[in-house]
Amino acid sequence: MPARSRQIVSNQHHHLNPKLPALVRRHLDNVHRKPVAAHNRAAFRRLLEELAARPRPLVLDSFCGTGHSTAKLAQRHPQHLVVGIDKSAQRLARHPGEPAGNYLLLQAECEDLWQLLVQAGLHADFHYLLYPNPWPKARHLQRRIHAHASFPWLLQLGATAVPGLLELRSNWQVYVEEFGVAMHLAGSPGCIARVMPGPELTLFERKYRDSGHTLWAFTGRVQGASPINRG
């Protein structure tokens, strides 16, 4: 019998962490520009080389884990270059087969890659955040994507004439609702709904469904936050 996945347990007694709105506003008002690690710059150069050889619009699969989702998204977006990003070499090494065709797997921190993409003037037509670590303990709020200092970089990835489509999925409803609040505060409201039955995009999605979890998704158009100085 396949291993069952436990429901998320949190000591966050409020449905919405009360510190979230002030934290999001602070991040939107300040540019987060930490030094980018050398290995992340190397990964970004590899991406630029791929785009130079075969120019195509981008799809991002951030925190892609083993890259199963990246391969499936490449089938969904055949005219794009789908880029799976994960910091773990161990997870990426479990990718079935070798990346080919229209997708690329990069070992890098997503937050650094987002910053480099924005500074290079690049954007994503589609950006997927599929079952990221929810960091359910209340004291770990700032480790969640929507409360992290890099959140404005994520927003700027879609700041184009045609805003990019962003989708986040999680098996923790609170996480998705917090993300929705943060997006609303950033001027990019979207829709929160249950993930409908269908082919699983990730191994986690399959495991959560098999364990009886309700899956939630935020979808919206990313229209950008306050302008970020690219200098």
With respect to residue 185, please indicate whether it lies within any of the assigned structural domains.
yes
pLDDT reported for residue 131: 96
- The ranges of the chain with pLDDT < 50 are 1, 225-231
With respect to residue 212, please indicate whether it lies within any of the assigned structural domains.
yes
pLDDT reported for residue 170: 96
Token reading at 226: 């306050």
**Helices and strands (H and E) in the chain: how many:** 8, 7
> Shortest CA distance to 160 belongs to which of 103, 122, 188?
122
pLDDT reported for residue 177: 96
With respect to residue 114, please indicate whether it lies within any of the assigned structural domains.
yes
- pTM for the full predicted model: 0.91
Spell out a b/e string for 58-97, using b for 16 or more CB atoms within 10 Å of the CB, else e.
Answer: bbbbbbbbbbbbbbbbbeebeebbbbbbbbeeebbeebee
| Domain count of the fold of the chain | 1
Task: State the residue range of the domain holding 26.
Answer: 20-221
Token reading at 128: 């997927």
With respect to residue 75, please indicate whether it lies within any of the assigned structural domains.
yes
With respect to residue 3, please indicate whether it lies within any of the assigned structural domains.
no
CATH of the domain at 121: 3.40.50.150
Spatial separation of the C-alpha atoms in residues 50 and 73, rounded to whole Å? 18
> Shortest CA distance to 215 belongs to which of 167, 176, 178?
176
Token reading at 99: 């990346």
